[in-house]
Structure 1
Amino acid sequence: MHIAFLADPLSSFKTYKDSTFAMMREAASRGHVLYAFEQRDMRVVAGRVLADVQTITLTGDADDWYRISATETRDLASFDAVIMRKDPPFDSEYLYATHLLEHAERNGARVFNKPRALRDYNEKLAILRFAQFTTPTLVTSQSDAIRTFLAEHHDVILKPLDGMGGAGIFRLREDDPNIGAILETQTLNGAVTVMVQRYLPAIVDGDKRVLVIAGKPVDWCLARIPKQGETRGNLAAGGTGVARPLSARDREIAETLGPQLVADGLLLVGLDVIGENLTEVNVTSPTCFQEITAQSGINVAGLFVDALEQAVGQR
């Protein structure tokens, strides 16, 4: 297959933990041809979505890890698969990219995850589709509504709807002297919508990343355990990743959501589960491939490329 990865600059990859790199390495090991490009490299000409792409080969070196063997302009429909792996934030440029990718689909491109699904599944708000698995949740821009929710639940987590890696997440208790300032800052005085959820004490045992590939859960998850004095388990916030077999509840959540995720065009999803509760549905660029593989022996990238090959009919 000829596989084009829409991603952040290759020079920014941390290959020891990057899941996109793991995908590339697995695909290359099977003889697939790899290409890379960025959002800014796309354009529409005469109704076709073109991109300036780089043909890349992997060197096996941890630092100087790739070589560019050619650069050319190609129609996205000419690839067997286009893998959207641009990291959030989901800003206006990301939104425009999904529109261009969706137009490329109309011309015959095969894009994973589907652009429409990337738009429809806000990684925070998507849990509202699966309320049977969630903790009490409020979505609002109104400070008074947040104060009422806090008074009811006493201890809550407040998070922006467009963040990643734990950025902008606050834990609020009723006796916090900074509640007003935090609410003003996070909602921009009522102009920005946020999500508020009842605090889950089970976070001390880890914020579990459960990967779902082609509707089926990977048998092990990565529990991201907060560092001392921290509420957030995200690895980017200093959490420690510990791979574990899925619990019965993890599997129940993943297997219940799996068919719907596939039907909506999501080949790869990262579910976040704290204790018994689903907290996020990550669809833009789910990670933790390498950490789970290193600790469990499961070739997660292999499972993903298996699913990709099957999806495009080239196994």
Structure 2
Amino acid sequence: MTQRLGVVMDPIEGITYKKDSTLAMLWAADQRNWDIYYMTPADMYISGGEARAHTQRLQVFRDPQHFYELGASEDIRMGDLDVILMRKDPPFDKEFLYTTHLLEMADRQGAWVVNRPQSLRDCNEKLFALQFPQCGPTHLVSRDAKSLREFHRQHGDVVMKPLDGMGGSSVFHVKADDPNVGVIIEILTEHGNTTIMAQTYLPAIRQGDKRVLLIDGEPVPYCLARIPADGEARGNLAAGGTGRAQPLSDRDRWIAEQVAPVAREKGLLFVGLDIIGDSLTEINVTSPTCIREIDDQCGTDIGGQLMDCIAAKLKQK
């Protein structure tokens, strides 16, 4: 039976062919002869109590000069799709929030949304990791300058970052003798109006910020260690890091085992864990990446694994 797959994503003409993880998923769906319906959040709407969208049938190709074709616009009832992939990148702003509400309605009306819209709202990628304190570094979440200064004084070498950032944006490595700690706290908290996270600095970042991918709680056997560029404290590829695929360590697998039951319970089918050394620092649920880099270096087919998992669950439904 041909499955009808919807994908909510940023404009496809703006994605990076060489490394886009959503494209790997779409290639896998196309290989299974699934019908793909493309939409952006702006194409979605509610009318008469129905979640609907102006979609276009999408074909994808493994050609960097011609990797997609879009068909004519079709106004569809989103609940008539079998599955919808929510692959819109952060920021998690009010429009992202509204999109999750529309997708939740589509889910109630018959489509299965991956990942579950309610969990996209509930599981802030930095705060969600704190549900597993046995896995992570010492931390403080606050907007109080006095508390943040005391955390810095106590631990000496810390990282401070916003709760809604991505790609390493606005992440500060604050050393013990940093004279700018006050200014950094003022900027990040917007003078006490915005809550941020402080964590003890993890020197193992020099060996990479590892992205471990989970499919229905099962870890892909290889992760991507994102090695910081010279002079950088951030391993994010968007911040100039270099990706090196490597087998999971025993500790990586143990952390995955801690997270897996909760991820399954929350309907988070595809998740990315960020691990520095032996510490879990974030759990990415909105639009996890690094599929392409791991596939290219290890010969895996992570998009195919995900589509096979989706197909098996659709059959059960």
2:103 and 2:52 map into 1 onto residues whose CA distance is 10
Post-superposition shift, 1:173? 1.4
Counterparts of 1:153-172 in structure 2, within 5 Å, are: 153-172=155-174
Structure 2 gap segments, 5+ residues each = none
Q: Name the % identity.
A: 48
Post-superposition shift, 1:59? 3.5
Post-superposition shift, 1:35? 1.4
Equivalent residue number for residue 104 of structure 1: 106
1:70 and 1:312 map into 2 onto residues whose CA distance is 27
Post-superposition shift, 1:109? 1.8
Structure 1 gap segments, 5+ residues each = none
Equivalent residue number for residue 42 of structure 1: 44
SS of 1:312's equivalent in the other structure is: helix
1:18 to 12, 17, 20: 20
Q: Does 1:284 align with 2:286?
A: yes
1:291 and 1:196 map into 2 onto residues whose CA distance is 29
Counterparts of 1:165-184 in structure 2, within 5 Å, are: 165-184=167-186
CA shift digits 1:43-62 (9 cap, x unpaired):
11110000011101124321
- The one-letter amino acid paired with 1:111 is V
- The one-letter amino acid paired with 1:57 is Q
Post-superposition shift, 1:4? 0.7
Judge which range, 251-260 or 230-239, deviates more.
Answer: 251-260
1:129 and 1:105 map into 2 onto residues whose CA distance is 26
Post-superposition shift, 1:26? 1.0
Equivalent residue number for residue 259 of structure 1: 261
- The one-letter amino acid paired with 2:77 is D
CA shift digits 1:233-281 (9 cap, x unpaired):
0000000000000000000011221121011100000000000100000
Judge which range, 140-149 or 303-312, deviates more.
Answer: 303-312
Counterparts of 1:99-248 in structure 2, within 5 Å, are: 99-248=101-250
Q: Does 1:90 align with 2:68?
A: no
SS of 1:43's equivalent in the other structure is: strand
Post-superposition shift, 1:70? 2.3
2:192 and 2:180 map into 1 onto residues whose CA distance is 17
Post-superposition shift, 1:108? 1.7
1:215 and 1:76 map into 2 onto residues whose CA distance is 27
- The one-letter amino acid paired with 2:313 is A
- The one-letter amino acid paired with 1:187 is T
RMSD between aligned residues: 1.1
1:223 and 1:260 map into 2 onto residues whose CA distance is 24
- TM-score computed with the length of structure 2 as normaliser: 0.97
1:184 and 1:119 map into 2 onto residues whose CA distance is 27
- The one-letter amino acid paired with 1:12 is G
Would the aligned equivalents of 2:225 and 2:243 in 1 still touch at CA under 8 Å?
yes
Q: Quickly say closer, same or farther: Cα 1:68–1:314, change in 2 above 3 A.
A: farther
Query: How many aligned residue pairs are there?
Result: 315
Equivalent residue number for residue 269 of structure 1: 271
1:19 and 1:299 map into 2 onto residues whose CA distance is 11
Task: Flag as ranges the 4+ runs of structure 1 deviating above 4 A.
Answer: none
SS of 1:313's equivalent in the other structure is: helix
Would the aligned equivalents of 2:27 and 2:61 in 1 still touch at CA under 8 Å?
no
Q: Does 1:294 align with 2:296?
A: yes
Judge which range, 55-64 or 135-144, deviates more.
Answer: 55-64
Would the aligned equivalents of 1:56 and 1:70 in 2 still touch at CA under 8 Å?
no
Judge which range, 305-314 or 128-137, deviates more.
Answer: 305-314
2:65 and 2:256 map into 1 onto residues whose CA distance is 35
Would the aligned equivalents of 1:76 and 1:109 in 2 still touch at CA under 8 Å?
yes
Post-superposition shift, 1:314? 7.5
1:303 and 1:159 map into 2 onto residues whose CA distance is 33
2:117 and 2:77 map into 1 onto residues whose CA distance is 17
CA shift digits 1:89-146 (9 cap, x unpaired):
0001001111111122221221000000101110010011111101001000011111
SS of 1:292's equivalent in the other structure is: helix
Q: Does 1:72 align with 2:74?
A: yes
Equivalent residue number for residue 308 of structure 1: 310
